[in-house]
Amino acid sequence: MDDNLLSRDGTRIAYERAGRGPAVILVSGALSTGGTLAPLAARLAERFETVVYDRRGRGDSGDTEPYDVLREVEDLAALVEAVGGEASLFGVSSGGALVLRALAEGLPVRRAVVYEVPYGDFSPAGAEQRAAYTRDLTAALEQGRRGDAVELFLRLTGMADDMIRGARQAPMWAALESVAPSLAHDDAVMDGGLVPRELLASVGVPVLALAGGASPDWLQRAAHAVAEALPQGSSRVLEGQTHVVDPDAVAPVLTEFLES
């Protein structure tokens, strides 16, 4: 990341800007950095000034304990200020939950889009598995078992055991372990894992909730539920897309909504 700023609590946040036009800040999900969304930012940069950043505790950004979700909202507020005091937001997965929280806190945002925030209201796993994940994740991180923490998260996403065993042997595993402590951040952002209807009812800007047509039905239903809970919410399914959305598929949808 080429640029840095200090958030309200003094934490260094690393970010990159590209393009010209109205600003849009891209917010990544769990086990990812700003670089994860760089391909999408490149596609949007023809029409927007795009910002990708390493959320605190990841990549080139710093971290300050104790963690609080509001500190991440302040990170976004600092980025909005850095691009002129107003921006649109796009959040993926748990990054979408952070975007929704930031909107409820009243950040100066024009419009926002979220992609497959994994609220589990309609998931077969249910609240019991989510609570067990939080408990086991906390224990693994307290004991320094970063690999086990990553494995817990991958299992929560539905990844099969044989694929997890293969991932542990892959070159990218070390990078996943390096950001494993931030899994606790995402767990806090998800706040129990259900659609926060009361919080969403306070959001005063247009929000588009997206889901992939090839994703599990419960993720599509969650996107619809998010839209229904928002005063100015709408939803849309991107045919053929999964939780790892293709930048070429989502960029035109983002452009259309953010420019409308």
For the chain, how are helix, strand and coil distributed in percent, rounded to 5?
45, 20, 35
Tokens of 51: 């910002």
How is the chain split into domains, by residue range?
3-122+193-259, 127-187
Q: What is the dihedral of CA 210, 103, 63, 8, to 10 degrees?
A: 160
Look up the CATH architecture of domain 3-122+193-259: 3-Layer(aba) Sandwich (3.40)
Query: Is the Cβ–Cβ distance between 131 and 114 less than 8 Å?
Result: no
Structural element, H or E, at residue 209: strand 207-212
pLDDT tens, residue order, the chain (260 aa): 789 999 999 999 999 999 999 999 999 999 999 999 999 999 999 999 999 999 999 999 999 999 999 999 999 999 999 999 999 999 999 999 999 999 999 999 999 999 999 999 998 877 778 889 999 999 999 999 999 999 999 998 888 989 999 999 999 999 999 999 999 999 999 998 999 999 999 999 999 999 999 999 999 999 999 999 999 999 999 999 999 999 999 999 999 999 98
Strands 23-27 and 49-53, bridge-based pairing? parallel
How far apart (Å, rounded) are the C-alpha atoms in residues 199 and 203? 7
Whether residue 9 contacts residue 74, with contact meaning beta carbons closer than 8 Å, is answered with yes
> pTM of the full predicted structure?
0.95
